[in-house]
């Protein structure tokens, strides 16, 4: 279920709210706060493929690079 607030917010209010809620994924759409919908399976698979390629490249960089994703 996607949650949308009806009251308009400024970007500063959005940032304050979104940074305080570490469990949710939020976006500001036309001044209204909206919870981002979850990713599709296809999207997750694509992210994992790209992540695998990045990790393989990072292993050759020898710079201690760190790569993370928020795919759930």
Torsion over CA of 48, 51, 52 and 55, rounded to 10 degrees?
-160
Q: How far is CA 9 from CA 14, 22, 24, 62, in A?
A: 6, 19, 17, 44
| Model pLDDT for residues 27-59, shown as the tens digit of each residue | 888 888 888 888 889 988 998 899 888 888 887
| Model pLDDT for residues 10-31, shown as the tens digit of each residue | 888 888 888 887 777 888 888 8
In this prediction the pTM is: 0.47
3-state secondary structure of 22: coil
Number of residues assigned to the chain: 72
How crowded is residue 33: how many other Cβ atoms within 10 Å of its Cβ? 20
First to last CA, the chain: 15
């Amino acid at each position: 279920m996607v949650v949308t607030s009806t009251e308009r917010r400024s970007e500063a209010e959005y940032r304050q709210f979104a940074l305080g809620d570490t469990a949710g994924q939020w976006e500001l759409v036309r001044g209204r706060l909206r919870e981002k919908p979850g990713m599709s399976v296809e999207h997750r698979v694509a992210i994992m493929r790209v992540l695998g390629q990045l990790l393989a490249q990072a292993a050759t960089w020898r710079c201690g690079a760190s790569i993370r994703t928020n795919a759930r």
